[in-house]
Amino acid sequence: MTTTAPRLLAIHEDTNANAAVLEGTRIVAAVAEERLTRTKFQAGFPQHAVAEVLRLAGWTLDDLDGVVAGNRFHFLPRLMGGRSLVEGEHDLFGLPHKAWLSVQTRFVHEGPLARAAEAFSRWALTRRFGRPVRLQDHHTSHAYSAWLTSEFAEATAVSVDNMGDGFAARVFRCGNGRCAPLWGSDAVASPGQFYGEISQFLGFHVLMAGKVTGLAAQGDPTQAYPLMERLFSLDRDQTNFRLEPLWRKHRKRGVFAELARFHPRDIAAAAQQRLEDVLVAYVRRAVRETGVGNVVLAGGVFGNVLLNQRIWELPEVTGVFVHPAMSDQGIAVGAALAEMADRMPVTPRRLEDVFLGPEYDEEAIGRALEAARIPYRRPADLEAEVADRIVQGQVVARYTGRLEYGPRALGHRSILCATTDPTVNDWLNARLERSEFMPFAPATLAEYAPRCYEGYGPGIDHTARFMTVTFRCTDEMQRRSPAVVHLDKTARPQVVHEETDPGYHRILRLVLERCGIPSIINTSFNQHGEPIVCTPEDAIRSFRQGRLDAMAIGPFWVGD
């Protein structure tokens, strides 16, 4: 088979299972298994995602130049049938998690255990696919996902999450087609572990640790901060993290018993402050080592948008890009990019949008509406209808085009409304059956972003397209769009460009013409506890359950 560039299928088999197909460094399709099974954070082999990305590309396995998996041995227990162990890893204080974390640290040393685990993983996947499967390291995949989708010819890449292939974090110098590893931190010394433990201690699932970030703005970080210093720190060289000894930790003893006397909001505030302080020092150390001020970030810890803002504000940093699927939802794409770097000369290919998932045509949408016995019509100007209803104070769901890749809804599977009502966080979350501490995020016209957000500009404008960083809001933004401004005066925007999504941009432009405000609320189109909607049937069900005012679905309008 002759192609202009290699065609690869890549998978991630674990929590947040996903698949992607690439041609060279061009991402043809990428989707998380959860969107198709409707089980949030779906784990295991991404069989539905594999089938879907191949369908979207119009390829079969015979059309591929290779298959790659984005973990060397991290998902070994699931391949061996150890479902209870993997499910138990989300109890960060539990015995199964501690045992698996201890095994993970053995892999770092590349001894017989690591070689055997990798060989078994490769054999099991080769048997499943009926062809050889290459393996890429977990954090190396994160690094390539961030660098090769950025706009930086050279970069300092930092990958930080709970754990993967023996490490909690790794630092790379990127340039000349390669991400060269510099150092890493063992799995038992994990920022993700620290923040996850606090999340679990406060009663949140570790995969929903963003709730801690939102709650933090309501608290006083000084109260519990000394205890956080005992729980989480850097070594003297600032290249390795330190946590309380793994096997001593218990949620009702030691430091955690002392934490129990503080209010949850103050615990959250102290944890957020400590995470920022330690990670900022870690990134600063990395930049000083590489001498490269453009920083690219991936790994679940960089889902923390306040941390990303702090990194952008470092004087040593000249640019920041956070991969839009910074969690393990981005591992398949990163693994494929790492494999491409092994096969051919590569340079960054700036990611312009994340509309990489399934799309449903007018006929499929019409059939779903008819089957649901839901009245609909085709407006002469659908975008004007959406803008008019938003200005009138209505809540409108928008379902159009290809599904977004990554954890954020960015206009194609979104719920939209005006930014003027500061009580919207209460009543709309109640409709959607969500309990959130963060305010809704704004979508803002790119032309007006400098007027709305302090610190917005070259070096950060690319990542601001994807809701991956906060900014302090200007006085004008605080006054005119109070519904999207958090207690700390920040917001997490999606900055919308006409060339990326002309229909969405036009809705924002029409809202501006009608009320003088260049922003609207954009929150994900889903109910609490479920993934972002994928199919027209998902959208109709969520629209009804959420008691929304109207829905623009394909070319059709649902609502009065």
- pLDDT surpasses 50 at 86: no
Neighbours of 250 (CB within 10 A): 12
Q: Confirm whether 526 is domain-assigned.
A: yes
- Inter-residue contact 88 to 97 (CB < 8 Å): yes
How far apart are the C-alpha atoms of 5 and 24, rounded to whole Å?
Answer: 5
Same domain, 55 and 162: no
Tens-digit pLDDT profile for residues 315-352? 999 999 999 999 999 999 999 999 999 999 999 999 99
High-pLDDT (> 70) share of the chain, %: 96
Indicate if the pLDDT at residue 17 is higher than 80.
Answer: yes
Of the spans 13-22, 90-99, 140-149, which averages the highest pLDDT?
A: 140-149
- Residue 361 pLDDT class (50, 70, 90 cuts): very high
Specify the pLDDT at position 529.
85
Q: Do 386 and 467 belong together in one domain?
A: yes
Q: Which letter does DSSP use for residue 417 in this model?
A: E
Instruction: Give 400-456 pLDDT, tens digit per residue.
Output: 999 999 999 999 999 999 999 999 988 998 888 876 677 799 999 999 999 999 999
Host domain of residue 219:
158-327
Residue 454 lies in a domain: yes
Whether residues 19 and 123 share a domain: the answer is: yes
Segment among 35-44, 50-59, 80-89, 154-163 with least mean pLDDT = 80-89
pLDDT at 263 over 90: yes
Question: Are 333 and 366 part of one and the same domain?
Answer: no
Same domain, 273 and 370: no
DSSP state of 179: E
Please give the pLDDT value at position 442. 98
Kindly state whether residues 381 and 517 are assigned to the same domain: yes
- Across the range 66-82, mean pLDDT stands at 75
Residue 3 has what pLDDT?
Answer: 53
**Measured distance CA(416)–CA(542) in Å, rounded:** 14
Summarize pLDDT for 388-400 with one digit per residue, the tens: 999 999 999 999 9
More confident residue, 252 or 239: 239
- Say whether both 203 and 115 belong to one domain: no
Tell me the per-residue pLDDT of 192-221, one tens digit each, with 9 for 90 and over: 999 999 999 998 888 788 889 989 999 999
- Pair 218, 303 in one domain: yes
* Predicted pLDDT at 198: 94
The chain-wide mean pLDDT, for the chain, equals 93
- Domain annotation covers residue 348: no
The contacts of residue 506 (CB under 8 Å, 6+ apart) are 383, 498
Is 2 a domain residue?
no
In terms of domains, do 162 and 245 share one? yes
Domain membership flag for residue 150: no
Q: Does 352 fall in a domain?
A: no
Domain CATH for 436: 3.90.870.20
- What is the model's pLDDT at position 275? 98
pLDDT digits (tens, 9 = 90+) for 457-481: 999 999 999 999 999 999 999 999 9
Percent of the chain with pLDDT over 90: 81
Q: Is a pLDDT exceeding 50 seen at residue 525?
A: yes
In this structure, the answer to whether residues 367 and 421 fall within a common structural domain is yes
- Per-residue model confidence (pLDDT) at position 82: 44
pLDDT at 83 over 70: no
> Which tens digits make up the pLDDT trace of 283-294?
999 999 999 999
User: Do 129 and 13 share a domain, yes or no?
Assistant: yes
For 155-164, write each residue's pLDDT tens digit: 999 999 988 9
Instruction: Say what the pLDDT of residue 110 is.
Output: 76
What CATH number is given to the structural domain containing 124? 3.30.420
- Do residues 105 and 187 make contact, with C-beta atoms less than 8 angstroms apart? yes
DSSP letter string, 265-279: HHHHHHHHHHHHHHH
Q: What tokens does 452 get?
A: 């709305």
Alpha carbons 169 and 468: distance in angstroms, whole number: 19
Residue 334 domain flag = yes
What interhelical angle do 502-515 and 382-391 show, nearest 10?
Answer: 40
Q: For position 275, which CATH number holds?
A: 3.30.420.40
pLDDT band at residue 267 under the 50/70/90 scheme: very high
Q: What is the mean pLDDT of residues 472-497?
A: 97
- Nearest to 283, CA basis, from 312, 303, 306: 312
Find how far residue 360's CA is from the centre of its chain. Answer: 24
* Euclidean distance between CA atoms 502 and 353, whole angstroms: 12
Please check whether residue 153 lies inside any domain of the structure. Answer: no
**Is-contact 2 10, C-beta < 8 A?**
no
* Core vs surface per residue 143-161: b (16+ CB within 10 A) or e: bbbbbbbbbbeebbbbbbb
Whether residues 206 and 103 share a domain: the answer is: no
Domain boundary among 292, 313, 343: 343
In eight-state DSSP terms, residue 377 is B
Number of domains in the chain: 3
